[in-house]
A and B are shown apart, each in its own frame.
Chain A
């Protein structure tokens, strides 16, 4: 697991940011993780550490309000937790969420299968490919 020893946390975050991810099969998750791992390989260790801490905070902060960790929340509550982080009055929290969101979106939409699923079909052949 690229960011957290518990894969369930990362998967829960991915599925909240991109709801379609909940329907991914084993190969789909493998592909998502491969993209994320490749991206993180280039990142400095300090950034990886911050992302790991952020994920753990996402998992355990909801205990204060909902009495259970993120992975055991209903999808609507998970969305509320992430929305709170996205809109937090502290800029560093917003930036942290933005960074995690970026990695998640790269993992999901960086896969050729996701491009196909949303109907994106750009081709080096350009107009010849569509006419």
Chain B
């Protein structure tokens, strides 16, 4: 086994790892050696083709098909230089005050996070897309919501030079999205941080990591790792784990830390989601333009759901529609006339949902749909269907309804149809793209895995800086909050470098 030594090692290069790398990179000028270890590869610009299965297979963990333990929900998260920031839509939301206050983490204030979040909103060019670039899929959402007097809000998105390919979730083919792969990591590398791709952290021990560098498979996309394939021991005086809410808790569990951290892995939430599609009588612009421009969050507290505009690709759309056969095919054939709304349920940390590891030490997410999340999905499905009909849809696909196709003539019966609908896990296609928790912040090992600076309880040299820190659901798109937390953790590390090295 080869052995290498750094002062600081960061595991993961997404919203958390990319931010920590950038914020610590000035230390390289003082002679410190810093490395980012990223499990996924780095892709060249021309490799982002927008072809669905090809890009999903290249950019996502398990090709986007990572399933919860009982197989009832798919979790989508990135595995590449830039992590999930390569595959998100770039929706940039400030941390909500009510949520941060409810988290009640000692030493963590909303004002501090908000200030840091605004810094990254500016750094990533988050702004409201000009009206002329917004497609009809989004405009019809606004129209429907206005008719129903719902409070629509526009997402700031972190794009620069967007051409409206609509392919954000397959990695922007025009490099318009300002993820960590475009902003923070290149700056960190310029300052001297080394990024080692195709490098998976297997375990973390006392100031050391066991890692495995994979060879580039024949015919695969992405650059080879800068390191020779093989197993390495990487020694570091400070280790920052930013592998995401599935892989960071799993790494600590593999490393035998459950005994000293009984809450490790617990508190997992994910915003379980499904789509409601409406068919219009004429083609609308839907697979062109930024896919996600608006949302409605007025029901987050009362109905436990948030609605967002969305537009997916043929296979993901087919998978996300319920049922099969003629009714399913009819909606697929109507693709150019489809309007889509994403229903996200606000789930909560509980005593069951958690990240674990299986016999082969792979991450496993144990997840049960809570009654509140089911209410959110069902209520959200009803409201989304209302909006689609109000926008002029001639029929709506509701995956929870007994007959998944609802014609406009039956729109008045929507409460009755929605009332008779049922949520059967394994039947209704549910997926989630916001995995959170598992290394929650708190005051001590009895209630959490980390403190408010992401430091793992009892291990002054080991930090976490990703969505696994969330002690409960954030209830919004999380990347800006992750960056704000990572910035706060990086600042603390900079302050403590003299003592820790």
Contact = CB atoms under 8 A, between A and B. Distances in A.
Contact of B324 (A86, A99, A109, A120): A86
A122 B163 contact: no
Interface in B131-168: 133, 162-167
Interface in A77-114: 79, 82, 86-87, 91-92, 94-95, 97-99, 101-102, 105-106, 108-110, 112, 114
A13 to B, nearest CB: 10
Interface of B: 48-53, 57, 62-63, 65, 70-72, 133, 162-167, 173-174, 283, 285, 287-289, 313-315, 317-319, 323-326, 328-329, 332-333, 335-336, 424-427, 429
A66 B317 CA distance: 33
B323 to A, nearest CB: 7
A120 B336 contact: yes
Contacts of A122: 50, 165-167, 287-288, 313
A116 B329 CA distance: 14
B133 A91 contact: no
A98 B285 contact: no
A98 B427 contact: yes
A123 B165 contact: yes
Q: Chain A, interface size: which category?
A: 35 or more
Given A95-B70, A105-B319, A122-B166, A17 B335 contact: no
Nearest to B424: A94
A19 B326 contact: yes
B63 A42 contact: yes
Contact of B429 (A35, A98, A115, A119): A98
Interface of A: 16-20, 35, 38-39, 42, 79, 82, 86-87, 91-92, 94-95, 97-99, 101-102, 105-106, 108-110, 112, 114-115, 117-130
Contacts of A82: 324-325
Given A120-B313, A124-B174, A98 B71 contact: yes
Nearest to B330: A19
B72 A91 contact: yes
B335 A119 contact: yes
- B49, B57, B335 — which one has the most chain A CB atoms within 10 A of its CB? B335
B279 to A, nearest CB: 12
6 contacts: A18-B328, A19-B329, A87-B424, A98-B426, A123-B50, A127-B288
A121 B335 CA distance: 10
B428 to A, nearest CB: 9
A119 B285 CA distance: 12
B133 A106 contact: no
A130 B136 CA distance: 13
B325 A17 contact: yes
A120 B289 contact: no
A90 to B, nearest CB: 9
B457 to A, nearest CB: 34
